[in-house]
A and B are shown apart, each in its own frame.
Chain A
């Protein structure tokens, strides 16, 4: 399923947050959304799955407009990893099981429990199954939310800074895993992030936002020192190490 965002705009009554964003993500592709704090990354993600209603513009999944799909049906197709989540008295297993919420008719089935268990296992959280969310570290919490999104078995995965609280090892593990799953299952993934080097390493496509406007979008070729400097207002140099491109602020 191809995700197409066409001229999406979002504004509060007297200030625009996002202007005219357009892009396409193919099945199995990972798009990194980059930009400074407040550039509109989160707003863009929320417009895609209708947490926010775009002021104008259309989001398409294949040839269906997202605005015509019921919220529940949409939840079966788009997984969402939100940026901030406060811990609560829910157990880890219950939190991941919520990924099955869009599929629940009267009650959860054995199948739902098995899928949630599998998602936990995939992210290495099995031992934490009965822990309460408010007893987890920030990184563990992030993994729980990713597991929940995977349990949704989505066609499209939206992730808002999914690795911001993870350590180096976990960042690599989680992103490698997300990359493998999205490729293998043909999930179109969109990930807002701050770490340019991780983006360069894991994403196929890039979208640079500046002040709510689309600055550049495309393959690795748009990630030039010039573009990055223009977006972040920090001079950078780009080099390669063992075939991995690396960006260094100057």
Chain B
């Protein structure tokens, strides 16, 4: 008989201690990632044509430096780096939560059709407000008639896509599978619509559309950086407040309900917030693929699925990945700046395949 004996055995804290050790270990990993990302940020600010060194960058950031490097760093490099970190973190937490809520490892901002919808919105606005060309063959040769209208239109259409998906999901009783499939369907619908718009557009407009679609961090100034960062911080806090709900959701819908989680409500609100942050990031910067997919997937493998750690770790990893990609894009064949969206997809796809092939690391 096991009854009495096992209820008050001698060492009840063995498992609890192991758990706490592991939690401490995971916190350390996140701290390490943060330090790494900050170092990367300094390198990113330093990288470029202005002949600075990392020490100078640090001194400038602390307000100890004056001169031309000051202007370059504060007005050009820093907004770009912060935008990269904010967008990377935002896309990564959005992907992380989408994957958990839809219980699908492939759920992410780009796979749910939100990015395609934003691109369609941008294309439409480019046709409406026009685009121009200055005769030169660098990337900056094409300019967009009214960038604000384009951004707004992109945002509007990504919200439309999000609402359509959420509405359809509501009608179908919010089965996670139906949401992913609806996202794929809307994605191809908007891509098809974009193709049609491009077919009837003028050469210069098509060029502008294509350039818009390439994600590029260079488009943002301090104002956009402020909006984006505020939203990312808000999103992050919202997700973190629900970290235990996401943990419970991992055990399945019914188990979560039996543990007191309002499953439908949490899913709906989380998807709404995740889509919103994606829509903002995409309309400011264009399509940046794979960050939302790959950053949380990497961290799931390293840290497991405890959202207390998974959410912050995904955010930091997303920030680091986008920062790294952008620095690479700026320096690889300098002075030509490649679109960062191409870099993330280029490295993201094989990295994703590698993670799939490698499977989970065994403890």
> Distance in Å from the Cβ of B296 to the closest Cβ of chain A?
12
From 243 to 295 in chain B, residues with beta carbon under 8 angstroms from any chain A beta carbon are 244, 247-248, 250-252, 254-255, 257-262
Q: Which of A13-21, A125-133, A191-199, A222-230 contacts B (4 or more CB under 8 A)?
A: A125-133
**CB atoms of B300 and A51 under 8 A apart:** no
From 296 to 312 in chain B, residues with beta carbon under 8 angstroms from any chain A beta carbon are 300, 304-306, 308
* Distance in angstroms between the alpha carbons of A180 and B3 in the assembled complex: 6
* Interface residue A3 (Cβ < 8 Å from any Cβ of B): no
Known A102-B259, A102-B260; contact A90-B304, beta-carbon cutoff 8 A: yes
* Distance in angstroms between the alpha carbons of A108 and B363 in the assembled complex: 24
* Interface residue A114 (Cβ < 8 Å from any Cβ of B): yes
Known A85-B251, A117-B19; contact A104-B244, beta-carbon cutoff 8 A: yes
* Interface residue A59 (Cβ < 8 Å from any Cβ of B): no
**CB atoms of B258 and A129 under 8 A apart:** no
**CB atoms of B304 and A71 under 8 A apart:** no
Question: Cβ of A124: which chain B residues have Cβ within 8 Å of it?
Answer: 6
Question: Cβ of B14: which chain A residues have Cβ within 8 Å of it?
Answer: 117, 121, 126, 129
**CB atoms of A90 and B15 under 8 A apart:** no
Chain A: residues with Cβ within 8 Å of the partner, total of 55
**CB atoms of B255 and A82 under 8 A apart:** yes
* Distance in angstroms between the alpha carbons of A93 and B258 in the assembled complex: 18
Chain B: residues with Cβ within 8 Å of the partner, total of 38
**CB atoms of A176 and B259 under 8 A apart:** no
* Interface residue A173 (Cβ < 8 Å from any Cβ of B): yes
* Distance in angstroms between the alpha carbons of A198 and B9 in the assembled complex: 27
From 1 to 21 in chain B, residues with beta carbon under 8 angstroms from any chain A beta carbon are 1-4, 6-7, 9, 11-16, 18-20
Question: Cβ of B13: which chain A residues have Cβ within 8 Å of it?
Answer: 114, 117
* Interface residue A165 (Cβ < 8 Å from any Cβ of B): no
> Distance in Å from the Cβ of B194 to the closest Cβ of chain A?
37
Q: Which chain A residue has the least Cβ–Cβ distance from B22?
A: A130
**CB atoms of B6 and A74 under 8 A apart:** no
**CB atoms of B260 and A75 under 8 A apart:** yes
With a 10 A CB-CB cut-off, give which of B3, B12, B259, B262 has the most chain A CB atoms.
B259
> Distance in Å from the Cβ of B20 to the closest Cβ of chain A?
7
**CB atoms of A101 and B261 under 8 A apart:** yes
**CB atoms of A180 and B15 under 8 A apart:** no
Question: Cβ of B252: which chain A residues have Cβ within 8 Å of it?
Answer: 82, 85-86
* Distance in angstroms between the alpha carbons of A90 and B244 in the assembled complex: 12
**CB atoms of B363 and A51 under 8 A apart:** no
**CB atoms of A125 and B305 under 8 A apart:** no
> Distance in Å from the Cβ of B305 to the closest Cβ of chain A?
4
Could you name 8 residue pairs across A and B whose Cβ atoms are closer than 8 Å? A71-B261, A75-B259, A75-B260, A82-B258, A90-B304, A99-B259, A113-B20, A126-B15
In the A-B complex, the 4 residue pairs with the closest CB atoms? A75-B260, A117-B16, A180-B3, A80-B258
Interface positions of A (Cβ within 8 A of B): 46, 49-51, 71-76, 78-80, 82, 85-86, 88-91, 93-95, 97-99, 101-102, 104, 107-108, 113-114, 116-118, 120-122, 124-126, 129-132, 145, 152, 173, 176-177, 179-181, 184
Add 10 more A-B contacts to A85-B252, A98-B244, A117-B12 (CB < 8 A): A71-B261, A82-B258, A89-B300, A93-B16, A114-B13, A121-B6, A121-B11, A121-B15, A125-B15, A132-B360
